[in-house]
Structure 1
């Protein structure tokens, strides 16, 4: 091989390496991924972050995380800090799915890929959306309750007005209830959104609903477990706990205990470690310029965002052991510690 041909070949190889997306092996440094959490309240988001970090570490990536404590401006500031720190991909769990568009814009202007995690950022150029099928969750919640109580007064406690996913849940619940409402079998006596999905707000809503209906309530469609627990506390204070059906979502420990006790009717379990691991894997793929496993799209008002929707699982007292316990999401020992001798799950 002549010196000229060798030089040409080496130049081509060098150009190829320099032009390729950096990976851990190529750069000698791990890929940096940012995980911005809107508020680390309750057990849910801590579980997501822990699972995400564990899978990212297995893949050789470094995770920079932040907790915005429900503050949109603080989350924006934290995201800008991550971008400055050199992240290649931003995994964004937004507090306000509308206001978070500026965070996506900031990331894209710095050539940082963005994964919208669990909540879809609206009107923005998100690269990927990973969540559970919220419409399916709302359907599961409403169908389970109406099968048990096809007649009576219903109370709806929806999630945050700043979360578009809360509206999806609520709309699907109403879609299931509407034929019963039209026939006069079901009457919605209270219906409202809840600031930041706060259990304390749900508690107040439930107290007001009990007073307005004089305790004549068949079911409470609470969109998540935190709000379900708040509603159950209000029901308990009026000697209605266990007499009124209550839905939930997330399979939080407190709600699983309530289900075993009979004060909550059901929850929807979302295998969070799978969601978090899927997001970590997708983030590494995007950092390397590779394709993700998106199998559909979701319109966020600006573009059709490539989407991965995972399957939720219905949980009742009958299948606690074969769902959340079997998966290791909740420990049987922890559940039984909150139960009386006669309520123990064996």
Structure 2
């Protein structure tokens, strides 16, 4: 009887072990964690810090690992960093290009390694790019010009663009002049100053604005700036010449400092591009790209070489009237940060 009981006990133990063994997945069934490389132009502006953090958080929620490198506006360094990400064996490479042309080399190197490339917010030119995810940047410029021309239908305009090497800067400007050109042809508006801002540096934008003021004997009626950092430099110059608050100024990016200027009345408007939506969409699409899934791109954008599959999101114009319902309601900025001392 004791032998029988021992035998039954042994069978039960063996049965339990078998169950535990079958619960362990086979190595071939374990999916490797998706690894996304994020090559960024810069982290020197508020918005790009937001993009970095939001993209990383969104991708990690989806189970992906993210390695981020920022080149501080150095073309050669961005290419070297992209090569490092490729060598790390990332599954997909997401790039915010500093130079739209130079970063075509990154796409070629990634493809040689069998890695797909997404262009984030800014378009990489003349490359066999796999996907472009951004906002409708031409619409951004149109929103800026529409807001300012309502206030100043006639007069002398200053346009301070972004970096000439950034394709987005060209799209912003194209949108602005889509609106201005008919008024220019009518003779209602004269663009008395039009200059790019090298490397998007606020110090260069400051010099541009100072030159515009001096060249026109302080007689200007409106300023359209390619982003909020550029607009911020413009307002500093206007303040120095005693013109702050008298001349409408448009920007874009909805940076906190710009939104505060709007509330104070020293900047007229900005264009809000909900970065959380952009970052979340890009992270989701990057994971789909890594899995060879359909990304559902419903637009095409010509980058000089191919019609790039694209996902373009809608921007939002922000002024004193809708600050609370837009950037604050979305949690992009805190009410106290905007309206506090």
Residue in structure 1 matched with residue 209 of structure 2 by the alignment: 206
Per-residue CA distance 1:307-337 (angstroms, 9 max, x = gap): 0000000000111111000101111111123
Question: Which residue among 30, 35, 59 is the counterpart of 1:26?
Answer: 30
Residue in structure 1 matched with residue 79 of structure 2 by the alignment: 76
Superposition pairs of residues 222-301 of structure 1, within 5 angstroms? 222-301=225-304
Q: 1:45 aligned to 2:70?
A: no
Q: 1:127 aligned to 2:133?
A: no
Between the aligned partners of 1:179 and 1:56, the Cα distance in structure 2 is: 44
Per-residue CA distance 1:137-164 (angstroms, 9 max, x = gap): 1110011101110011100001101011
Per-residue CA distance 1:205-264 (angstroms, 9 max, x = gap): 111111111111110010110000000000001110110010000000000000001010
Per-residue CA distance 1:143-188 (angstroms, 9 max, x = gap): 1101110011100001101011211211221221112112221111
Aligned to 1:318, what secondary structure does the other structure show? coil
Residue in structure 2 matched with residue 170 of structure 1 by the alignment: 173
Question: Which residue among 313, 327, 331 is the counterpart of 2:334?
Answer: 331
- Comparing 112-121 and 174-183, the one that deviates more: 174-183
Q: 1:107 aligned to 2:129?
A: no
TM-score w.r.t. the length of structure 1 is: 0.89
The unaligned stretches of length 5 or more in structure 2 are 1-26
The root-mean-square deviation of aligned C-alpha atoms, in Å, is 1.2
- Comparing 215-224 and 226-235, the one that deviates more: 215-224
Per-residue CA distance 1:98-123 (angstroms, 9 max, x = gap): 00000010100000010000111111
Radius of gyration: which is bigger? 2
The unaligned stretches of length 5 or more in structure 1 are 1-16, 19-24, 339-346
Shift of 1:293: 2.3
